[in-house]
Structure 1
């Protein structure tokens, strides 16, 4: 028997509303109505949730690095035929490309969100 079930994934950041707006645009999820300046929830399908918590003195991870390690990253699935369009959209929204797909040799590309959290667009 499981001890617990998975709840929300929470990302620390300097401004929860701004980072939530970025991921809301990327995922097409809605901002929860109980959100405030310290904590913002995004509500997705099937009970999925992602939250953003204000962290004073936030320092972004550096990818790849052991000095300021990422500690986690998000893998976001994208249909293979939409990978290039998805990349253009996340870049327009404020992401930074960290590592490409090796000229199509790999099925993922690595980005940093506007405050430095790494995430991947993964072809599915």
Structure 2
């Protein structure tokens, strides 16, 4: 087993939990912007998908169903930045019935949701 992805996941979870508890939304977004601005990596699409699969394999042990999009996306963004991958935190809304949602993308690839689901939302912000 590779320890680096698991270590990065645990660190990302701890950092994101601290940021979420200690910060207002504006400060959380500022932290996320810094994380998302890592230098572009030479990680291929397959490498990024593998990192994302590893992330999802760890999540059943630490997330509840109430942490579906915001916190999970925050942790994934930090995890990817620790692994040297730049990504975007996308926010969208659906008017009827009203709903807000967020997810992580890398070069247009949705990493923590399904394309069919996020296509129901109109993007209003990208971090």
Higher RCO structure (Cα 8 Å, ≥6 apart): 2
TM-score scaled by structure 2?
0.28
TM-score scaled by structure 1?
0.29
Point out the structure with the larger helix share. 2
Point out the structure with the larger strand share. 1
